[in-house]
Structure 1
Amino acid sequence: MGSFNECMQEYRKLLEKGCIQEAYGGLMRYIMDLRVYFKNKYPQYFVSGIYQGYMDMTYFSFSPESLKSRKLKIAIVFVHETFRFEVWLAGYNKNVQNKYWKLFKEMDWNKYHIPPTTKGVDSIIEHILVENPDFSDLDSLTKQIETGTLEFINDVENFLVQ
């Protein structure tokens, strides 16, 4: 990676081509539509606004009362660098995150990825929903994300009631 100025010159070149704006705008519209889909289909769940991020990650939370009451949330995340959709269990704050991260770690739960530390990490556990999203079939992509998210939530809820 070059200096800030060199990076800005590269950014300018990409903007001049025009495709990056179209791609980013399309991605944001899709994630907004995905959020509305979840909000309408699952009115009993809490659905947050969208965090657009700094082209690192874009997400919204989608949480059942069973997790919200524990100050936990489910984040449906698009990770820009790896270009994939993931689902994360996260805490409302770092204290909650640390508490549940320790619980999952101590119970040696290996169904999903547990980050090695909570420092500099926003998740307690993570799962890849769609490795290489096909944006030419948004309905199918939405179904993949929905199915994987609901399975993840079910697994987390089952673990927490043990």
Structure 2
Amino acid sequence: MPSKSLNSRISAYKAIFSNGEFQRTYQDLVGIVQTLRTEFSKKYKSEYSTANVLHGYVDFTYFYLQNDYLKKKKLKLAIVFNHKNANFELWLLGQTKDVQVLYWKKLREVKWVNEGAMPEYSIFEVPLLLAPDFDNSTKLSESIHSQFKTLSKEIFNTLAAYE
């Protein structure tokens, strides 16, 4: 199905912005990711370097975490807010596309890896928090930190097993 022309999509685009709700919601969600980044930076200061928050288009808001082990392997972890699904994910990324392809092939048997097709931006993407409670920031933060701790440990054990 061919996509509509840009001109024919403009009215829907303008409607999304008309009452300011989209902008406020987007800014609030980005603010949550920025708060998480600050927390991760403080909480894991001795374990990881934490990059600034980055914005995809309107699809992803994320920040990278890297330690010496990941750096040697040219890998990064990313805490990602997926705007389309309104959930948090943990991604394993390569510093280059070649590194991502190498690890995607190497880790194909791992439960998180889609062996049929490599994700566009990562080696794999693991749900971190599927149904976040955005109105309870303390619970949200605790849940993400708890899941990150568990999943990152699993990811490091998996990477070590596939050396």
Taking structure 1 as reference, are residues 50 and 58 closer, same or farther at Cα in structure 2, changes over 3 Å only?
Answer: same
In the superposition, relative to structure 1, how do residues 116 and 12 fare at CA in structure 2: closer, same or farther (>3 Å)?
Answer: same
Q: Percent identity?
A: 32
Q: 1:115 to 1:139 in 2, by over 3 A?
A: farther
Q: Secondary structure at the match of 1:54?
A: coil
After the TM superposition, which residues 6-155 of structure 1 pair with which residues of structure 2 at under 5 Å, given as runs? 6-44=8-46, 45-105=48-108, 108-110=109-111, 112-114=112-114, 116-118=116-118, 121-155=120-154
Distance 2:59 2:25 in 1: 15
* Structure 1 length-normalised TM: 0.89
CA distance in 1, matches of 2:53, 2:153: 23
Bigger CA drift: 75-84 or 1-10? 1-10
Give 1:5 deviation, angstroms: 2.3
Q: How far apart, in 2, do the equivalents of 1:79 and 1:18 lie? A: 21
* In 1: Cα distance, 2:87 partner to 2:77 partner: 16
What is the rounded CA distance, in whole Å, between the counterparts of 1:143 and 1:115 in structure 2? Answer: 32
Distance in 2, Cα, partners of 1:61 & 1:134? 23
- The answer to whether the Cα contact below 8 Å between 1:46 and 1:65 also exists between their aligned partners in 2 is no
Shift of 1:160: 2.1
Structure 1 residues 160 and 113 mapped into 2: Cα distance closer, same or farther (>3 Å)? closer
Q: What is the CA deviation profile of residues 36-86 of structure 1, one whole-angstrom value per residue up to 9, with x for unaligned ones?
A: 110011112011122211111111112232212211110111111122111
Q: 1:85 touches 1:130 (CA, 8 Å); kept in 2?
A: yes
Distance in 2 (CA, whole Å) between partners of 1:152 and 1:64 is 15
> What secondary structure sits across from 1:40 in the alignment?
helix
Over 3 Å counting, the alpha-carbon distance change for 1:77 and 1:25 in structure 2 is same
Which ranges of structure 1 fall in alignment gaps of 5 or more residues? Answer: none
Question: Number of matched residues?
Answer: 158
TM-score by length of 2: 0.88
- d(CA) in 2 for partners of 1:35, 1:71: 21
Higher RCO (C-alpha under 8 Å, 6+ residues apart): 1
